[in-house]
Structure 1
Amino acid sequence: MTVKVSIIVPCYNEEETVELFYQAIYSIFQKLPQYHPSILFINDGSTDQTLTKLRQLNQKTQVESHYISFSRQFGKEAGIYAGLQNADGELVTIMDADLQDPPEMLVQMLHLLETTDYDCIGTMRSDRSGEPPIRSFFSNLFYKIINKISQTQIVPGARDFRLMRRNMVDAILEMSEYNRFSKGIFAWVGFKTKYLPYQNVERVAGQTSWNFWSLFKYSMDGITDFSTVPLIIAVWLGLFVMMVAFIGLLFIVIRSLMYGNPTRGWASTISIVLFLGGLQLFFLGIIGNYIGKIFLEVKHRPLYIIREKK
């Protein structure tokens, strides 16, 4: 009896890579006759010929292949969720189309799930060779910060590339929030997980759609999705500044009573006012970010809209 493995592949402008990915999966599962692969490509509003390529792959018979095409770009998180909702395999994996998630690791991952009681086999990058140093620095900083301020611990360097049993997939689907940070969700649902390290792999073709700003925004979403500590910091720092200002006010009053009230000090006063005003705006921004997430959640809009599916 063969075991069906659903392979979820979010795609955005991956016309150069999807066929290479398809052939790589075919080569791997040729060696694993006990498993039946089913690739589910999620076209996230690509503006190149990705959808045309997916239609062509759908006609091939080497590997079962399906696709879902969104009406516009909804983001990778929506693509992952759509894939999980439509995957029907007993085992489910999420992979990038650019082959930065090595398909050959599936052999070891499948073997571990078959011979152990793990619910999930995840992957993590053991190094960041080939990545800009500034990006590596901020990535490492992100993991340190979120693991300090959140009860949900995320393995540094963890990838979305993981192989899961059906019970874990069903648990993830129970978390239908609009603001999604999959790395945190995978960790939050629990289940017994083993992580396999691997060295960083360059894209096989094409250009990444992730730049520094989009990664920074994604990391900020992760922090606010899984921690309220920024709000707590805002409260305590606000109290601290208020106490310092009160002490400063007492000092000014006492000095005025003892030595008079000189008119000098306009520049320093303006500096203090601007500092406190900037601090208030900063914390209003933090609060506004949380309120904005609440605003998006209560609208109950769909995470994605399907334009074409096959």
Structure 2
Amino acid sequence: MKLLSAIVPCYNEEANIADFYQEFIKNELFFMEEEIEFELWYIDDGSKDGTVSEIKKLIEKDGRVHLLSFSRNFGKEAAIYAGLEKAKGDYVVFLDADLQDPPSLLPEMLGFLEQGYDSVATRRVSRKGEPPVRSFFARMFYQLMKKISKTEIMDGARDYRLMKRQVVDAILSMQEYNRFSKGIFGWVGFETKWIEFENVERKKGETKWSFWKLFLYSIDGITAFSTAPLAFAAFMGVLFCLAAFVFIIFIIVRKMLFGDPTSGWPSLVCIISLISGVQLFCLGIVGQYLAKTYMEVKRRPIYLIKEEITASGREDLDERAG
């Protein structure tokens, strides 16, 4: 029999844990017919509410449910990577606990793997329920990434993705600290089938992704899979050097022809302010790449485990890390 590993990152999802399990388990008859066993890994990303308690309740009644709990909040990217390390399945799938990734799509996704695809990914065809400003900037981000990166990142792509073991092993081979999974999925390649579905709003609770967090996440994506900002900074440097050279020639010629009038201070201040702003902007771009390099060379673990509970029993693993 084949084994399906389902990875469910959780952060303060107490209200959704049981509901997600009930929705996921509706596929059990299909799994039995297709001779597929499953394991369900809840990855607790340092939740402050009763998320861990709710997961433990499920473990008591279903041995296929497992828990990996972090020592603090390390972020969804760390939870995804930890889940991949724990997953033993021939097939591995990511789903959000808030039910925005419908488990009901799994039979269709597994069908495409049987047809020969290496992975099946999902994308939203609408952003119903999202604030208009957030939707606008999200679309701008994907359009920008298409232009500046060689890695394919699909507009509206979700982390909801089903993969064969070969793809999982390829992703695990990328052990970088600054992770951007949507880019990593595209970078490793393999033949991927895209499934489109209407946006599903959260079952309960509120999103943990504020506009500011999404903005910082987008910066991570740009710097992780494109060096175009560095090329832009270099281009701006050359452009303003040429402009300064032309302006110096202009000043010399004006001096020789008309003397040295004192007018033009406002325009001079504006020019200095503009050039200074561009210099600081370009320095900030370089600083972002330098910061990413700094974090990589420190080789800190991507996550630290506080507790792990599997069918074989409980382990407290504060010293273990990924």
Shorter-chain TM band: over 0.9
How far does residue 32 in structure 1 lie from its aligned partner after superposition? Answer: 2.4
| Rounded Cα–Cα distance in structure 2 between residues aligned with 1:183 and 1:193 | 13
User: What is the aligned partner in structure 2 of residue 251 from structure 1?
Assistant: 250
Partner AA of 2:203 in structure 1:
V
| Residue 112 (structure 1) aligns with | 112
2-side partners of 1:31 and 1:15: how far apart? 27
Offset of residue 188 of structure 1: 0.5
1:42 alignment partner, SS class: strand
- Gap runs ≥5 in structure 1: none
Per-residue deviation, 1:213: 1.0
Distance in 2 separating the partners of 1:278 and 1:188: 34
- Identify unmatched segments of 5+ residues in structure 2: 310-322
Corresponding letter in the other structure for 2:110: L
**Distance in 1 between the 2:243 and 2:142 partners?**
33
Corresponding residue for 2:186? 187
Superposition deviation, residue 267 in structure 1:
2.2
2:274 matched to which residue of 1? 275
Task: Find runs of 4+ consecutive structure 1 residues off by over 3 angstroms.
Answer: none
Task: Map 1:173-212; keep pairs closer than 5 Å.
Answer: 173-212=172-211
The structural deviation recorded for 1:265 is: 2.2
- After TM superposition, give the deviation of residue 268 of structure 1 in Å: 2.0
One-letter identity of the residue aligned with 1:50: T
Confirm or deny that 1:165 pairs with 2:164.
Answer: yes
Scaled by the length of structure 2, the TM-score of the pair is: 0.93
Superposed CA deviations along residues 85-109 of structure 1, whole A, max 9, x for unmatched, are 0101111000000000011000101
Letter in 2 for 1:184: G
Deviation at 1:64, TM superposition (A): 0.9
Work out the CA distance in 2 between the residues paired with 1:268 and 1:69.
Answer: 59
2:259 counterpart of 1:233: no
Q: Distance in 2 between matches of 1:238 and 1:18?
A: 52
The aligned amino acid for 1:200 is N
TM-score (norm 1): 0.97
The answer to whether the 8 Å contact 2:112/2:193 transfers is: no
Instruction: Give the equivalent residue in structure 2 for 1:43.
Output: 44
Corresponding residue pairs, total: 307
SS of 2:61's equivalent in the other structure is coil
Percentage identity across paired residues of the two chains = 50
CA shift, 1:30, in A, is 2.9
Query: Which range is displaced more, 248-257 or 14-23?
Result: 248-257
Letter in 2 for 1:182: S
Alignment of 1:1-310 (within 5 A): 2-33=1-32, 34-61=35-62, 64-114=64-114, 116-310=115-309
- Greater CA drift, 274-283 or 291-300: 274-283
Q: Counterparts of 1:224 and 1:136 in 2: how far apart (Å)? A: 21
RMSD between aligned residues: 1.0
Contact 2:44–2:67 at 8 Å: present in 1 too? Answer: yes
Determine helix, strand or coil for the equivalent of 2:236: helix
- Counterpart Cα distance in 1 of 2:81 and 2:53: 23
Larger deviation, residues 256-265 vs 159-168? 256-265
1:74 Cα deviation (Å)?
0.4
Cα-to-partner distance string for 1:78-131 (whole Å, 9 max, x where unaligned): 0000000010111100000000001100010112212x1111011111111111
